[in-house]
Structure 1
Amino acid sequence: MDNTHIMFPDIKSADELTDEKIRLFIGAYGFEDRSLGWINYQSGQGHILSSAVPIHYNNPKGRNKIKQLYDALSNAGASNISKVNYDHNSPHIFHESLKGALISSFTSVEEIIIDISSMTKLAILVCLSTLREFRGAIRIVYSESDNYSPSEQEYKDSKEDMEMFARFPTVGVGTIIRMSCLSSIRMQGQPVTLIAFASFNEQLVAHMLGTINPHRLIFINRKPSREDYSWREKATQEIHKKLIDEYSSNNPIDGNGLLKRTASTLDYRDTIKEIDEIYKELGNYERIICAATGSKMQTVGLFFSKILHPDIHIEYPSPDSYCVKGVSTGIRKVYEIYISKYSEFIQQLSQY
């Protein structure tokens, strides 16, 4: 896909909106500072929203900022607020509930804000899929934190004391979730290529391997967008070293000893480019399954890769525990991806 960066809109600083349009907000109750990043960024802009669909986690990771979010949405003009429950044990119910809350608004709303900052990766994928028939504009907004866990020192300490992993954002794996809107039955019976994103939770990929038994495993490492977090590229590779060595022929290393396949944790287009290259090489001969183990913006790129290549199958290994304190603090910057006619954009991609 030579024109990937032409086809897909830039990720840029979020706009300060005005009250000229009828807008709906979709976001999640979160406990991190960034869960309120975009809505607070719009503070003082007037009644820029007409309605909102907050996602309520039935299994919260911490003390969610529910009241703060409701107050901010009301101040932004949202007079109709209808929450949707998210239970990671019943993701299909979430999908149906979200469709019920959104589809009736498709003809009356001009623009939809999707704040992915506090969404699980599965919620991001389901939201983007549910909106496929929405003809208006969407803004995918993301608030970048000032500080992420683990710190470099915590990671270094963890290599000597594995109990420190309890302080990392996710630990272990609960179950592997498969959704009809993200699945594909094409190429069943053919050899499987598993594409996974390197993270700080090696068990996510290990569990996928035990379930799928793929012919090959291809890692896409994370490339931090900030220089002060560049150490993470090497760290996430070290965490998956055993699997990378086991599947060394599928995971080439560059002259610096790092994985050649990397994608920005912020610019979603990198992910699309990497998956497209893998698909062009293997898609005609092998079934491609992607594990949604990347960053939130890498997950956005994964969704659009699925639209470009419908026979790609996506699965979500759900972490079974989280760190409540120290996951992320502060808000560094608020970003957005703006697509003026979403359903038309999706249709164009599917015909590419």
Structure 2
Amino acid sequence: MSSIHEIELVEILNKFPEAVKFNEALLPAMGSESIFIAILGFEDRCLSIPEELAKHGNHNAQKAFYFTYTTNSADNTQNKDKLLNALSEISHEYQSVVCDTQDFPQNFRDIIKACQNAESRLKVIMDISTCSSMPLLLAIKILFEFDVDLHILYSEAKIYHPTYEEWQAEKNKHVKEEGFGIAKGVSRVFPSPEHPGDRKDNLPEKVFVFPTFKPERIIAILHDIDPSIALVPDKHAIWFVGKPHLKENEWRIDAIKEINKITEDMQQVLVSTFDYKDTIRGLNAQWDKWKSDYHITIAPLGSKLQAIGIALFWQMHQELSMVFAVPEQYNAKQYSEKCIERWYIPLGSTREIKHLLDCVGNIELREI
């Protein structure tokens, strides 16, 4: 006997991999069908995974790429020699890719196209540890235009600034001083050219906000979408407040609310900064609630793994828009220190992932 069944998101997410502690044995050896992507940043963890892979010396990737930023170039350069030494052990050929300019999406698309071959699926191993949300979301979107075998690596920082002691000592500066904290100013705000969304119905705006420890960029994004939202964000913004992975960092929940002036009467959702599936679940619940009455834009300034969840959710609902904001400069000494753990997410075939996500809401007959 058969019954009609609607496929639910939870069923699909159960088929997606968890983040597991990285072990060299878990990652397939990188050969001529593989590329490795690293990020040249100023944080200690920029080197953690590349150096670990280089230490084992059993990789011969077709090519290695390292993303570079136009901001903080002097700070980032301090890790360059060590990163290139590690990359030389992973592949005989490596090159830089500027990832925060307007031509990055097309440049990256051309790179992936050139690395494809007809005989096997390209394996893309990407270390996202120091990748900011804008290039990460753009890169994932482009990778989904191809059928690649996608493997995500992530180094979790041991110390995130501000620490609890720094927050308690200088709370007023973090809340009120624009030049204080993890980033300074806003250099530009722009709608993502790769995530334009669909505004055919001329609906009012609802913004899904992933805030960070500095409010300037979120305010700039809200103002860019609609100046009235920036002035009165309580009705048209939903705040996706990050719940830290480690219990000792949970004080940051209240801190980020205070910095961004998120009051109890404002719409908010608590989502993990670590579990990318939790981000998808949180987005989906709010999407189901508001999709008929609003055009929805995401302001994606949360964690790296939240960005992975956002990227996958957008594959389900491409009528969503995204708007990015780039700071004038990051405060290199007030970001993160060291690495406490390395993590691995073997996502697999992007074509298969997209197929699974497209199944949500489909009707099928099941035997009972």
Q: TM-score, normalised by structure 2?
A: 0.85
1:351 positional shift? 4.7
- Corresponding position of 1:82: 95
1:117 counterpart SS class: coil
Amino acid of the structure 2 residue aligned with 1:201: K
- Corresponding position of 2:29: 19
Of 319, 332, 335, the residue aligned with 1:327 is 335
Alpha-carbon distance in structure 2 between the residues aligned to 1:317 and 1:273: 25
Alpha-carbon distance in structure 2 between the residues aligned to 1:128 and 1:227: 29
Q: Deviations over 1:133-157 (max 9, x none)?
A: 4334211111111111111121122
- Corresponding position of 1:169: 182
Determine whether 1:105 maps to 2:122. Answer: no
2:351 counterpart SS class: helix
1:220 counterpart SS class: strand
What is the 5 A alignment of 1:145-184? 145-161=157-173, 166-184=179-197
- Corresponding position of 2:270: 262
Amino acid of the structure 2 residue aligned with 1:231: W
Amino acid of the structure 2 residue aligned with 1:69: L
Q: Deviations over 1:1-57 (max 9, x none)?
A: 333531422111123046364321112111211111111222332232411111122
1:225 counterpart SS class: coil
Contact 2:72 2:329 in 1 (8 A): no
Determine whether 1:296 maps to 2:304. Answer: yes
What is the 5 A alignment of 1:192-207? 192-207=205-220
2:144 counterpart SS class: coil
Identity of aligned residues (%): 23
Contact 2:173 2:180 in 1 (8 A): no
Alpha-carbon distance in structure 1 between the residues aligned to 2:349 and 2:173: 51
**Compared CA separation, residues 199 and 20, structure 1 to 2 (3 A):** closer
Alpha-carbon distance in structure 2 between the residues aligned to 1:28 and 1:177: 22
Alpha-carbon distance in structure 2 between the residues aligned to 1:118 and 1:161: 25
Q: Deviations over 1:213-233 (max 9, x none)?
A: 246110010100101211101
Alpha-carbon distance in structure 1 between the residues aligned to 2:184 and 2:49: 28
Alpha-carbon distance in structure 2 between the residues aligned to 1:308 and 1:148: 32
Q: Deviations over 1:237-279 (max 9, x none)?
A: 11122x546xx3534xxxxxxxxx1111111111111110011
Determine whether 1:305 maps to 2:313. Answer: yes
Alpha-carbon distance in structure 2 between the residues aligned to 1:189 and 1:297: 32
2:106 counterpart SS class: helix
Contact 1:18 1:46 in 2 (8 A): no
Determine whether 1:220 maps to 2:240. Answer: yes
Amino acid of the structure 1 residue aligned with 2:87: L
The gaps in structure 2 that reach 5 residues or longer are 1-8, 230-234, 361-368
Determine whether 1:231 maps to 2:243. Answer: no
2:172 counterpart SS class: coil
Of 110-119 and 273-282, deviating more is 110-119
Of 316-325 and 229-238, deviating more is 316-325
Determine whether 1:66 maps to 2:80. Answer: yes
Amino acid of the structure 1 residue aligned with 2:166: E
1:164 positional shift? 6.9
1:198 positional shift? 2.7
User: Number of paired residues?
Assistant: 336
Alpha-carbon distance in structure 2 between the residues aligned to 1:148 and 1:49: 34
Of 297, 312, 315, the residue aligned with 2:323 is 315
Alpha-carbon distance in structure 1 between the residues aligned to 2:252 and 2:36: 32
Alpha-carbon distance in structure 1 between the residues aligned to 2:178 and 2:191: 27
Contact 1:157 1:164 in 2 (8 A): no
Q: Deviations over 1:178-198 (max 9, x none)?
A: 222112123452011111013
1:196 counterpart SS class: strand
1:150 counterpart SS class: coil
Alpha-carbon distance in structure 1 between the residues aligned to 2:190 and 2:58: 38
Structure ID, larger Rg: 2
- Corresponding position of 2:267: 250
Of 89, 94, 99, the residue aligned with 2:104 is 94
State the 4+ residue runs in structure 1 displaced beyond 3 angstroms.
Answer: 17-22, 160-167
- Corresponding position of 1:42: 53
Q: TM-score, normalised by structure 1?
A: 0.88
Of 29-38 and 270-279, deviating more is 29-38
